Amino acid sequence: MSIAFGVPNRGPSVHTWAFEQDDGHLLVAERDGRVIATGASIGFGSTAWIGAIAVRPEARGEKLGKRMTEAAIEAVGERATLLLLASPSGRAIYERMGFEPEGAFRVFSGPAHAKPAEREDVRPATEADYAGMRALDVLATGEDRHAAIDAALEGALVADGGVALRPPFAARPIIATDSNAGRALLDAVIEPGIRLAAPQANLPAVQALLDHGCEERHGVERMRRGAPVTWNPELQWGVFSLFFG
């Protein structure tokens, strides 16, 4: 995956975490004893996400990306809704497979000068906050992603109107119903090189990332096949990953 995506991937990663879940699947295609393609899927009840579709450069042109996507969908089984985040090069493939675009995400990395700020309006989460944090993710995503949320509660931060989760891999997803809370939490977690992605529809989040001097890397498109999900991109200030948002 590091070769295909052009970024380093070290364990633990979102992919190794997903593979450890009861409803997570990580697939590989091999040739001559070497992995030439990967694919993954993870289920969250009625929804499922497809990700980590990667093909080594020398194996491209053989429709392995489509075949790995089909295998990942088969592994996760029947779902009301399938979701993914598509790169510009992958979007046409997914459209031919029946996926529809739902909104763009802009992807950034934390600048070299970034430093987490200590803020009086941000505090460590406690057990008393956990139910509200789970409910906030449901409001933002329209999904029951309790496995991911529960893995990210320890070390999470909260502000009045938002939360910055801490999953067991390199990410700091932020959900906020209030723009002041979103900015405060971003101030508290930003660091050099951290990958941060926010929906284009969340203009305050995008502007906050630009104000921090974050370098824009590329964009991805959220795509769906199946029943619509009521999600609220304006509440999403940062994602878990480019696998399941």
Domain 108-238 is in which class?
A: alpha beta
Q: Where in the chain is the domain with CATH 3.40.630.30?
A: 2-86
pTM over 0.85: yes
d(C-alpha 118, C-alpha 170), whole Å: 20
Q: At 142, which helix (H) or strand (E)?
A: none
**pLDDT at residue 207 greater than cutoff 50:** yes
- Buried residues in 47-65 as b, exposed as e (16+ CB within 10 A): bbbbbbbbbbeebeeeebb
pLDDT score, position 191: 96
d(C-alpha 217, C-alpha 108), whole Å: 5
Q: What value does the mean pLDDT take over residues 97-102? A: 97
Q: What value does the mean pLDDT take over residues 146-160? A: 97
Q: Which CATH superfamily is domain 2-86 in?
A: Gcn5-related N-acetyltransferase (GNAT) (3.40.630.30)
Q: Where in the chain is the domain with CATH 3.40.630.90?
A: 108-238
DSSP for 233-245, please give it. Answer: GGGEEE-S-TTT-
pLDDT digits (tens, 9 = 90+) for 133-151: 999 999 999 999 999 999 9
Q: What value does the mean pLDDT take over residues 155-169? A: 97
Q: Are strands 174-176 and 236-238 parallel, antiparallel or unpaired?
A: antiparallel
CB 236 within 8 A of CB 175: yes
pLDDT score, position 12: 77
| Position 199 confidence tier, pLDDT thresholds 50, 70, 90 | very high
Q: Whole-number mean pLDDT of the chain?
A: 93
pLDDT score, position 59: 75
pLDDT digits (tens, 9 = 90+) for 22-68: 999 999 999 988 999 999 999 999 999 999 999 988 878 778 889 99
pLDDT digits (tens, 9 = 90+) for 112-139: 999 999 999 999 999 999 999 999 999 9
CB 79 within 8 A of CB 46: yes
Comparison of pLDDT for 10 and 217, the residue scoring more: 217
Strand order of the sheet with strand 174-176? Answer: 123-124, 157-159, 162-164, 174-176, 236-238
Q: What value does the mean pLDDT take over residues 11-25? A: 89
The share of the chain scoring above pLDDT 70, in percent, equals: 96
